Structure 1
Amino acid sequence: MKKIYIITTVIVLMGVSFTSCNKLLEVTPKSQITEQVYFKNETDFEPYVIGTYTSIRAFANSLLYGDERSEELINGTTTRLTTAWSQILSPTVGAINYNGQYKAIGNVNLLLDKIEPFAFTNTTLKNKLKAEALCQRAYTYFFLVRVVGDTPLMLQAITDDNVPLLPRAKAADVMKQIFADLDMAISLFPDKTYQNKYRFSYGAALALKTEAKVWSAKVLTGGATDFNDAITAGAALEATGVSLLPNFKDVTTTRANAEVIMSAYYNRDETGANYGSNALPFLTAISNATNLDSIPYVVTSSNGLGAYQISLQSRQLFSGLTNDKRVPYTFIIERQGTVKKSAWITKMPGTKYVDDRVSDNDLIMWRLADIYLLEAEAYAGINNTTKAIEYLNKVRVRAGNGNYTGATDKATVERAIFDERGRELFFENKRWYDIVRFHFGGTINAYTYVPNLKGKTTPLFWPLSTTVLAANANLTQTPGY
């Protein structure tokens, strides 16, 4: 295993290059190499790009800005859900300090600045690395747009301490840059297949574009143009070779499977546990359960916190669907005799080893069922409910629920898609973003749908922390705080 350690003037990069495949690990920096001396050979660029995935993986592993603020979770035997879940946010409580995101963007800007004029003997590799870097930047900016809305747009490489103090750019302008980066990446990827599902690819770029276009259509009122662009991107993605797995139970437990478009790699003793560890109860808390052997538990609290449980509201999405095959692989009701107790999450159960269970499932960033439902949402957005139902049914049938038989008006179909996403993508860090999107689209009212938002006026976007504001006088606080 060849390890490369880089510290630029922007951020510490941690990269690991494998002979068989590239996976994202957390390692300790061993030596320091500045950008001025590092990029001397074309072989220097790929380890740098691999290193930048450390940030992407970290963003994917945070439920704070995704599921924690939704209706999906309640506190378990330990308390982890606090400010975001309670919807009690202010510039001093629960606010975002986005330095990590801008360090990641600075990394990419530096790479793009250095790689563009560099003469590669292997132009295919150069194009691939540029495409991956552009996707990384688009992904990070899309994270920021969904969390804080308007956000500074930094495109230049930072190679010294003179960091520009930029104001917040309009979210619509940031989205234009996201789409420009993605369109360039899509044109640059030399291979339309999936050589490595732990790195950005042609298909992953299309997945991100599909999701971002639906967001832009609803939240930024891009309307039919964006909906149609999402449909086009989704159709191109369908042709890349991904397919639904026959059995839902294999979706989150089988690595880099046929349904996965891109995921973040996790493995015991290499990368630590993922956010799923917060949902695994420890044995002492459930030792009296009569169905103990069916509950994915850990022996020691160091491998599981028992902090998340599935909410009644999310369980009720499955009500009446007696044939839904997803239920056992989504949650289980702890029983003590005939008494029903806690509802533990069974999605992403980790791996049971000889000594203990470890939460080491890959974190799926996009999979085909997600894209099918985004396409259904886009078709509904342009009032083509026939096609919307067609895509909705692709997911319903695999789940064992058969074809949709409800009303076919736009509002009803959109609510059916929203509910289906709640069932299919539970605990995959999608729900809060779905809530915001369907709120702006008029399908739901977030302030009546999310229990902890009822009676509150907390904005749907996050406040900037006082630390961020103090460092840049050109910034203004998120409206509503």
Structure 2
Amino acid sequence: MKKIFILILFFPLFSCNDWIDVNSEEAVTFRNYFNSEQDVEDIFTTILVCEKAVIAPTMMGFFDWSALHCSNAGTFGEPYRKLEPAAIWDMDKRTGWDTHYKAIYLANFLHENQFRFKNISQERTDFWLAQADFVKALMYFRLAQDWGEAVVAPSTEDASQLAKSPVDTILAEAIRAAEAALILPTYDKLVNTQGNHINSRQYASLGTVHTLLANIYAWMGGLYDKEEYWRKAEAEASLVIEGKAGFYDLVSMKDLVEKTFGKARDVTEVIFTIEKNEQDDNWYVTNNFEMYYPGFALINYPYDETDPRNVDKNDIPRILVDSVYALYPEKADLRRKEYWWNLGQPIPIEGEPESYISKHAFINKWRDKVYAVNPETTQGSNSKLIAMEGNRVYWRLADLILLRAECRAHLGMAEAVTDLNRIRERAGLDSYRGFTDKKILLREIFRERERELFGEGHHYYDIVRNGYFRDVLIGNYQTLTDDDVKKGALYLPVGSNAFLNNPLMTQNIYWLWHQN
């Protein structure tokens, strides 16, 4: 993908915290702006910048820490795992929805100004509007997942102060925008302004849109406990899995780790990804390790730490070998080998007569390291780890197959086990032979998602969708009442910026009661 940049033209739009206020001088600029298809694509590129900031931020968010599968999340992360209010409020700047609404604003802006587009066919206009619609739908879905109640963005020329709408209204907006994007072709037919094939899976295709709809309906199934939503989610997922919206296929466990998650950026299994690379991210000036997967919190030896003994004694995010064995109880599971570095094996220590056996496991799911080369960033003679080479894979086929298994289990379909077995067999395991009672099967599918998607950012949402928060999460999560949940305990508090210049904004009730 070409280097992403933010158009200077749109900086004035992002300077306020209430709804965007466009002055007459800027309005004239916009009216004269759309002279070619490239102008439209450039604005969509800016939308991708916003999407990237939401989906692949360089720092972990509240829910990333809350659901981090670990034995200890370290001094910084442990309070979030335990739902300690003081820590949550300290993360206020990371619980804002500003960037979500910037993307939505620009998508609306393109729609409202399409009559000004020049030198572009209707077909190409529809293509870029559909691309924008996908991002808009994704942003509304993330708003619904993270905050529940949120604001429905008005017209770009409407500066009205607005109150939040219920979560079902926000989800309806997500569905409406996603359905508008269903005109997109399969990924093999995507082309840019110059007529060149678009290779990046960050651009939406028909398969991406159906996957989004499957996730929205599955979320609604968990939220409302209605069969109709599980049925819709199953149907949307099936279109993708069965090759009716583009061809996606499972790769070997070895190729998944070495190629899909690594610098090769293989997309055979990938449905939707965020581009991460030196060109777009300018790693030369990066000072801190970019944690765009929650699992990156567990990266230490042998990448960011040269002595495994330090992992055992330092207060850092880490996971016990016994915890990994419990998560992957079957010895034949290839993920023990591919996701973890020499799990439980002796490690030679230079200068020591005996090897060392650590009680902690070392994640090895991401292997292609990026060390700082900027002399202002490097630490003495040692290079500093600043990133792991590879894209931020958001949805892949294995994820969708297991989501369909969950839907089918809710619907009482025997094929739920077939989907579960497809992922087990790829991991080198025998077919599932346990009970197929709905409750037991749903828990097994959840555990399989936990194993397969370890560290990829889905765990918290899987927990909430299944209602497992009291027995899977720790600390104050375990004592939440049904009333706490109803009042918003499983959502983020509304960030402070949302209250600036908007007297109609209200705080989530649970967090209002737990403010500092």
Residue 280 of structure 1 deviates from its aligned partner by 3.0
Match of 2:208? 204
Asked if structure 2 preserves the Cα contact closer than 8 Å seen for 1:349 and 1:361, the reply is: no
CA RMSD of aligned residues (A): 3.2
Shift of 1:274: 4.5
Displacement of 1:83 in angstroms is 4.5
The 5 A counterparts of 1:71-110 are: 71-73=68-70, 75=72, 79-81=75-77, 83-89=79-85, 92-95=89-92, 96-110=95-109
1:258 aligns with 2:268: yes
User: Partners in 1 of 2:274 and 2:180 — Cα distance?
Assistant: 23
Q: Secondary structure at the match of 1:243?
A: coil
What amino acid sits opposite 1:184 in the alignment? A
- C-alpha distance in 1 between matches for 2:79 and 2:500: 22
Q: Distance in 2 between matches of 1:425 and 1:171?
A: 27
Q: Is contact 1:71–1:314 with CA below 8 Å preserved after alignment?
A: no
1:447 correspondence with 2:470: yes
Aligned partners of 2:250 and 2:269 also within 8 Å? yes
Q: In the alignment, what sits opposite 2:174? A: 178
2:67 to 50, 67, 70: 70
Q: Is 1:468 paired with 2:468?
A: no
Deviations 1:17-72 (A, max 9, x none): xxxxxxxxxxxxxxxx9534422333210111012111111112244144321141
User: Normalized per residue, which structure has more helix?
Assistant: 2
More displaced 10-residue stretch of structure 1: 369-378 or 446-455? 446-455
1:85 positional shift: 2.6
- Amino acid in the other structure paired with 1:351: K
Match of 1:236 in 2: 239
Partner of 1:398: 426
Mark the CA change 1:388 to 1:79 in structure 2 (over 3 Å): closer, same or farther: same
Which ranges of structure 2 fall in alignment gaps of 5 or more residues?
16-27, 191-197, 284-289, 348-354, 374-382, 512-516
Q: Deviations over 1:375-410 (max 9, x none)?
A: 1111111121x1111111111110111211100111
Q: Which amino acid aligns with 2:411?
A: I
Structure 2 vs 1, CA of residues 423 and 351 (structure 1 numbering), >3 Å: closer, same or farther? same
Helix, strand or coil for the counterpart of 1:233? helix
Contact 2:303 2:369 in 1 (8 A): no
Give how far 1:366 is off. Answer: 0.6
Q: How many Å apart are 1:74 and its aligned residue?
A: 5.1
- Structure 2 partner of 1:139: 138
Taking a change above 3 Å as real, the CA distance of residues 243 and 464 of structure 1, as seen in their structure-2 partners, is same
Mapping for residues 285-304 of structure 1, pairs under 5 Å: 286-289=305-308
Residue 275 of structure 1 is matched in structure 2 by 292
How far apart are residue 92 of structure 1 and its match? 3.7
Cα deviation, residue 232, structure 1: 1.5
The offset of 1:347, in angstroms, is 1.8
Does the 8 Å contact 1:147/1:461 carry over to 2?
yes
Greater gyration radius: 2
2:443 alignment partner in structure 1: 415
State the percentage of identical aligned residues: 22
Q: Distance in 2 between matches of 1:395 and 1:214?
A: 19
CA distance in 2, matches of 1:419, 1:256: 26
- In the other structure, the counterpart of 1:44 is 39
More strand by share: 1
Tell me, yes or no, if the aligned pair for 1:249 and 1:326 is still in contact at 8 Å: no
What's the CA shift string for 1:58-108, capped at 9, x where partnerless? 1122441443211414556x6441553331236844342222222222122
Quote the offset at 1:284 in angstroms. 10
After superposition, the C-alpha distances for 1:266-286 in whole angstroms (9 at most, x for unaligned) are: 123541445355443277974
Q: Measure how far apart 1:471 and its partner are.
A: 3.6
Asked if 2 retains the 8 angstrom alpha-carbon contact of 1:376 and 1:392, the reply is yes
Query: 1:285/1:7 Cα in 2 relative to 1: closer, same or farther (>3 Å)?
Result: closer
Contact 1:71–1:313, Cα closer than 8 Å, also in 2 = no
Q: Deviations over 1:303-323 (max 9, x none)?
A: xx9954346786255342101
Q: Which amino acid aligns with 1:416?
A: E
Is contact 2:320-2:359 (8 Å) kept? no
The answer for the alignment partner of 2:376 in structure 1 is none
Residues 70 and 320 in structure 2, CA contact (< 8 A), matched pair in contact too: yes
TM-score normalized by structure 2?
0.76
| 2:394 counterpart residue number | 365
Task: Look up the SS of the partner of 1:46 in the other structure.
Answer: helix
Relative to structure 1, the CA distance from residue 460 to residue 204 in structure 2 (aligned partners, 3 Å threshold; closer, same or farther) is: same
Contact 1:127/1:190 (<8 A) preserved: no
CA contact (8 A) 1:281 1:306 kept: no
Is 2:324 the counterpart of 1:315? yes
- Say if 2:382 is the partner of 1:376: no
Measure, in 1, the Cα distance between the counterparts of 2:140 and 2:422.
31
**1:22 alignment partner in structure 2:** none
Using the size of structure 1 for normalisation, the TM-score is 0.82
CA gap of 1:155–1:372, structure 2 versus 1, over 3 A, is farther
Letter in 2 for 1:454: Q
Equivalent in the alignment of 1:340: 358
Aligned to 2:195: none
Q: Quick one: which amino acid aligns to residue 202 of structure 2?
A: Y
SS at match of 2:150: coil
Report deviation, 1:465: 2.9
Question: What residue number does 1:54 align with?
Answer: 49
Can you give the 5+ residue segments of structure 1 that lack an aligned partner in the other structure? Answer: 13-32, 296-304
1:248-305 Cα shifts (integer Å, max 9, x gaps): 4343224142000111111235414453554432779743449x9xx9xxxxxxxxx9
Offset at residue 128 of structure 1 (A): 1.5
1:136 Cα deviation (Å)? Answer: 0.5
- In 2, the alpha carbon distance for the partners of 1:126 and 1:314 equals 52
Please identify, of 358-367 and 81-90, the stretch whose mean Cα deviation from structure 2 is larger: 81-90
The answer to whether the Cα contact below 8 Å between 1:263 and 1:365 also exists between their aligned partners in 2 is: yes
Match of 1:17 in 2: none
Hey, what's the Cα distance between the residues in 2 that align with 1:389 and 1:37?
Answer: 57
Whole-angstrom distance in 2 between the partners of 1:289 and 1:428: 24
